[in-house]
Amino acid sequence: MEAIQKEYERLIKRANLSKSINDVDHCLRLLENAREAILRDPTTSKMTLVKLQQAMSTGLGKVQDDHKEIYTGLNRYGKALDKTFKAASTYSTNDYDALTSQAPLIKRAIAMHLIREGQFSVADFFLTEAGPIDIPPELQQEFQEMYEILDAMRTRRDLSLAIDWARQKSVQLEQRGSNLEFDLCKLQFIWLFIERPERAMAYARREFARFQEKHLKDIQQLMCAFLFLQTQEKSPYSRIFADPEKSWNDVSHSFTKEFCSLLGLSAESPLYIASTAGAIALPTLLKMASIMKEKKTEWSTVNELPAEIALPPGYQFHSIFVCPVSKDQTTDSNPPMMLPCGHVIAQESLQRLAKGGSSGTLKCPYCPRESSHHNAKPVII
């Protein structure tokens, strides 16, 4: 994937058509000027056309040179894709395709992704073309409000809309244990402190009082920064004001996360997460498919992957449990079971151990305690 990313970035730099457009505009002006010259004096038409031919040849040559660099970038990017996914054409999902019967869910995921990304006009067109999709109309209005607030934060450095929203949702945010309202006010203070310290002092006196019980230490550090106003580089609190751009990005991300959480949604688009995780896993799965094809074997368990996929921490949402007895990963049909002694094994292992004992009793494989398999409890992970 790194090679694809590298070629993609190179393509973005090369795929600048502004130079080519300027050269085309220049050719058009040459044609217009030649036409006007011939209309003014038809007797000079032959000389004008000769000059035009030479100028147009040069101009069109520049346009071709401009396109050549873009075509080179496209060609290299295509080769990088082919190299990474070279086995894609040999792998077929005809035998088992989990998405074949899930067209409504796929359409909803696409529509939700477009709405979450702020592509509202595209989402409206998709909803019209794809047919009825179960998405509440008010959801798009909610995300329109979110992007209006984010636009004010990112482009105008205006936190007033975000702070007003956080105060309106203060009860729900407090129930979630969120510090969003204070983080927004803290960022507003930092921004004022950098630009106009006297306004920062007035803002702190007006806004920080209600946060003292929970955020007293943070407030103390912010206020003590005034002691080093003339020598900020020597201030022990300089780190708070060292990277305001990072602070803006962090607070914007926190706002997006909390906004989506109150709507019952994750901070990241599920379609984006699923697509990215799939792209990471695809090379390994394609290799496994190739090996199974060569050995003429098939993966019989459709609910499990044929190989372990190492995903980044941000893409791991569910805990797994591997039975210490059978070394198999537990599933819905073979859940983890906790014995009265506190040790956990898979249900199938529990049943095998119980069959070996008298009257359904079994001995824990990790401690000498005996119990009945009826006393084991399922563990939800």
Specify the range with the lowest mean pLDDT, choosing from 13-22, 114-123, 178-187, 337-346: 13-22
375 pLDDT above the threshold of 60: yes
> Which range has the worst mean pLDDT, 14-18, 164-168, 245-249, 348-352?
14-18
Number of structural domains in the chain: 3
* Residue whose tokens read 């372990």: 308
One-letter amino acid of 140: Q
Q: What is the pLDDT of residue 216?
A: 95
Whole-number percent of the chain with pLDDT over 70: 92
Is the predicted pLDDT of residue 16 greater than 80, yes or no?
A: no
pLDDT tens-digit map of 302-330: 566 767 788 888 887 777 888 989 888 88
Tell me if 314 is assigned to some domain.
Answer: no
Nearest-angstrom CA–CA distance, 114 and 123 = 5
Task: Between 118 and 101, name the one with better pLDDT.
Answer: 118
**Residue ranges making up the domain that contains 8:** 1-85
Question: Mean pLDDT across the stretch 83-99?
Answer: 59
User: Could you tell me if 164 and 258 lie in one domain?
Assistant: yes
- Per DSSP, the three-state class of 82 is helix
Within a domain: 75: yes
Position 289 in a domain: no
Predicted TM-score (pTM) of the model is 0.63
Q: Is residue 19 part of a domain?
A: yes
Co-location of 39 and 142 in the same domain = no
Does position 116 have pLDDT exceeding 80, yes or no?
yes
Tokens of 175: 């129930």
Domain's final residue, options 263, 286, 317: 263
Per-residue pLDDT at 102: 85
pLDDT band at residue 144 using 50, 70 and 90 as cut-offs = very high
Choice among 17-31, 80-94, 133-147, 318-332 with the minimum mean pLDDT: 80-94
Is 30 inside any structural domain? yes
pLDDT digits (tens, 9 = 90+) for 212-225: 999 999 999 999 99
Domain boundary among 214, 246, 263: 263
* 106 is a domain residue: no
Do 160 and 57 share a domain, yes or no?
A: no
Q: Which residues contact 251 (CB under 8 A, 6 or more apart)?
A: 153, 183, 184, 187
Look at residues 324, 269, 253, 284 and name the one whose alpha carbon lies nearest to residue 85: 284
Q: Give the three-class secondary structure for 345.
A: strand
The 10s digit of each residue's pLDDT in 269-315 is 999 998 998 888 888 888 887 887 787 776 665 566 767 788 888 88
Burial of 188 (0-12, 13-18, 19+ CB in 10 A): buried
pLDDT of 94: 54
Q: Are residues 347 and 257 in the same domain?
A: no
CB atoms within 10 A of CB 197: 12
Claim to verify: residue 152 and residue 259 sit in the same structural domain: yes
Query: Can you give the pLDDT at residue 292?
Result: 79
Is the domain of 79 the same as that of 142? no
Q: Is the pLDDT of residue 377 over 80?
A: yes
pLDDT at 142: 95
- Please give the pLDDT value at position 96: 57
DSSP SS3 for 362:
strand
Q: Are residues 72 and 161 in the same domain?
A: no
Which residues 6+ apart lie within 8 Å of 71 measured at CB?
none
81 and 144 within one domain: no
Between CA 40 and CA 44 the distance in angstroms is 9
Q: Is residue 373 part of a domain?
A: yes
Give whole-number Cα distances, 91 to 106, 119, 309, in Å. 22, 33, 18
- Do 347 and 233 belong together in one domain? no
Which residue among 66, 85, 104 closes a domain? 85
Banded pLDDT at 101 (limits 50, 70, 90): confident
